[in-house]
Amino acid sequence: MNTHLNSIRTIALVCIAGKAVSVGFSSEEASLATSVNASITTFLMFTLCYLSVEYGIQFFIIPLVREPLGVISFKRRKDKAVEQLEGTVINLAEGVSPLDTPKAQEVIAYTLGTFAGVLANEELMSLDNNLKAFILGEPTTQISVNRRISKFRTHDVYHFGWNIAKRLKIPNTMMAEFLKSQFPWQLADVEISTIAKKLSSDEGAFTLPKVEPRLPLAPFPLAKKLSIC
């Protein structure tokens, strides 16, 4: 800071001296002594003006603006620190597997509990693995259930998909594609576009109910309701 200030002073004094000499010797009729005196007087006047401005800024203006500028600087640094902290929290959250989120855990438990006793162990294991792959965004090529299940209707599949889609915030079309791949027998005559539109439909007979997203998604005793056990 002092180095810059000294440089400014040096430049200012050189400019003032040049201006003083220019003013002092501007008259051709004045004698040498008169020109020198005029130059010195001009130099002193300009120097006094410069020093008045410099010290006025240094001792009066700067103290007045220093505190507000300090507050602004502090707020900027604080906001930046908060953003960095939030970014760290987001990065930590991104490091968690989608399967470990509360909603995913709820959906997986709902699926296993609802279809326990309805599906064979191999079918239930396949549905569980395919559902996890679906949540992770991985392809699901294996069919879980490709047979008729007594009293298990198309609308039961719809409601199963609707309950899952609402918790995982999955678009209806994606959910419809997953359901079509896992329950091809129940959805054999239904297009994916139709499935997507009817996930929330209450028309027709069904056993598996829809569960509003604001409510806990507890496993439904489907086997008991279908009189399988």
Q: Using an 8 Å Cβ cutoff, are 144 and 183 in contact? A: yes
What pLDDT score does 89 carry? 42
More confident residue, 70 or 97: 97
Answering whether pTM is above 0.75, one says: no
- For the chain, give me the number of helices (H) and strands (E)? 9, 0
What pLDDT score does 26 carry? 62
Does the pLDDT of residue 30 top 80, yes or no? no
What's 69-109 look like in SS3? HHHHHHHHHHHHHHHHHHHHHHHHHHCCCHHHCHHHHHHHH
* Among the ranges given (59-63, 123-127, 149-153, 171-175), the one the predictor scored with the smallest mean pLDDT: 59-63
Does the pLDDT of residue 9 top 80, yes or no? no
Average of per-residue pLDDT across 121-145:
92
Instruction: Take residue 130 and report the two structure tokens written for it.
Output: 């395919």
The secondary structure of residue 213, as a DSSP letter, is T
Instruction: Describe the crossing of helices 172-182 and 154-168 by its angle, rounded to 10 degrees.
Output: 130
At residue 160's C-alpha, the angle toward residues 156 and 161, to 5°, is 120
The secondary structure of residue 208, as a DSSP letter, is S
When pLDDT is cut at 50, 70 and 90, the band that residue 139 belongs to is confident
Instruction: Take residue 204 and report the two structure tokens written for it.
Output: 């027709």
For the chain, the average pLDDT equals 80
Over pLDDT 90: what percentage of the chain? 53
Does the pLDDT of residue 135 top 70, yes or no? yes
Q: How many CB atoms lie within 10 A of CB 123?
A: 18
Instruction: Take residue 10 and report the two structure tokens written for it.
Output: 């040096």
**CB neighbour list of residue 138: distance below 8 Å, 6 or more residues apart:** none
